[in-house]
Amino acid sequence: MTTQERNNRSILYVLILILLVFNLGLFYLWQSGKTEKEGLSAEKVKLEGSLSEKEKALNAAEQLLEQFRADSAAMAENNVQMSDELNKRKSEIARLTFLLKKNDKNNQMLVDELNAKIAQLSKQLAALEQENSILRSNNDSLRTVNQDLYSENNKLSAEGRKLKSLAARLSTSEIRVEALKKQLLTRKETNTLKARGVEALRISFNINENNVAEKGERVVFVKITGPEGVTLMNDGQGGVTDLADGKSTKFSYKTSVVFENETKQIPATIWKPVKKLTPGKYTVEVFTEGYLMGSTAMDLK
């Protein structure tokens, strides 16, 4: 082998070595770039996961704060306030929420702290909600009992007023009805049982003692009913009065008396028929304040 050939071979080996080193360098650069790219991708995935966790924590915080406000309003309606401890935890969550929203980047320490506070407050609100549910159930039961008692009390009060009203009613005794006529010669009044001779009816009665009734003046209505069942009425005297049961009745005349809780004899009143009376049974009823005080009957021939 000549010298020229040996030189050419040496040059060839150097070129091969240079190409080998160059290729190794390229391979190293490619491998380094690949590793760096994979690292950036992993970092990006990690960052996206952290930001997603941050958004979840913020959403959970907003929902919990809204629940806290709703629960506070519901309790305020019953004059109950949230405890200082719960208010403190709510304020801590609001503070952490503000800090995380203010910072565009993720702060894992703040996210972890916020999640811990959310878990604590959620647990306490759930326990509070259970207590409130029991209280509402108890209140509903008490409200039902109170309504029943109120209704029963109203019923008893109404019955009591009714009984008192009944007890306060005045009654009469010794109702006397006398048919009168005047003697032909002396013109003195005398009693008669002959219907056609009757010129007037003299009616008198006693009002019985009643300590429940109020003292004072009473208007007394006297109703005279003839044999045909018709109320006898003179022009300008009779009329119609309302009764306590919602009905009404005619009356022949009325008068006023003063009641003072004790038995009182009412002065006799005179009623003169404008027409001749017919034989039969005559009924006299006495009313005041819408109820019947008493009655009596008389037969005329």
The mean pLDDT value of the chain amounts to 77
Residue of 213, 230, 225 lying closest to 264 (CA atoms): 213
Give exposure, 5-37, as e/b (b: 16+ Cβ within 10 Å). Answer: eeeeeeeeeeeeeeeeeeeeeeeeeeeeeeeee
H-type alpha helices, 78-102: 84-102
Which pLDDT score, from 0 to 100, does residue 106 have? 59
Whether pTM > 0.75 for this model: the answer is no
The token pair at 254 is: 């009325």
Greater confidence, 117 or 150? 117
Which pLDDT score, from 0 to 100, does residue 47 have? 42
Percent of the chain with pLDDT over 90: 9
**Domain 172-300: assigned CATH number:** 2.60.40.10
Which pLDDT score, from 0 to 100, does residue 227 have? 92
Mean pLDDT of 257-275: 87
Which pLDDT score, from 0 to 100, does residue 265 have? 86
Mind listing the pLDDT tens digit for each residue in 141-188?
767 766 766 666 666 555 655 555 566 687 888 889 888 888 777 778
Greater confidence, 247 or 94? 247
- What is the domain partition of the chain in residue ranges? 3-139, 172-300
Residue of 99, 69, 109 lying closest to 86 (CA atoms): 69
**Could you tell me where the beta strands, DSSP code E, fall in the chain?**
172-182, 189-191, 200-207, 216-225, 239-242, 248-251, 253-259, 264-271, 280-288, 291-300
Percent of the chain with pLDDT over 70: 71
Give the separation between CA 63 and CA 57, rounded to whole angstroms. Answer: 10
Residue of 217, 190, 221 lying closest to 205 (CA atoms): 221
Which pLDDT score, from 0 to 100, does residue 54 have? 75
Which residue has 């760096």 as its token pair? 36
CA-to-CA separations, 212 to 19, 153, 162, 182, 259, in angstroms, rounded: 133, 22, 13, 43, 12
What are the φ and ψ backbone dihedral angles of 294, each rounded to 5 degrees? 175, 170
Which pLDDT score, from 0 to 100, does residue 48 have? 44
Which residue has 């996210």 as its token pair? 111
Least confident among 52-56, 87-91, 165-169, 294-298: 165-169
Q: 3-class SS at 275?
A: coil
Mind listing the pLDDT tens digit for each residue in 23-80?
666 666 666 665 565 554 545 444 444 546 778 877 877 887 787 787 777 777 767 7
Which pLDDT score, from 0 to 100, does residue 251 have? 93
Number of H helices, E strands in the chain: 3, 10
Mind listing the pLDDT tens digit for each residue in 226-264?
999 899 988 888 898 898 888 889 999 998 888 888 888
Which residue has 């950036």 as its token pair? 40
Which pLDDT score, from 0 to 100, does residue 46 have? 47
Give the separation between CA 25 and CA 13, rounded to whole angstroms. Answer: 18
pLDDT band at 280 (very low <50, low <70, confident <90, very high): very high
Strands 264-271 and 253-259, sheet pairing: unpaired
Mean pLDDT of 213-238: 88
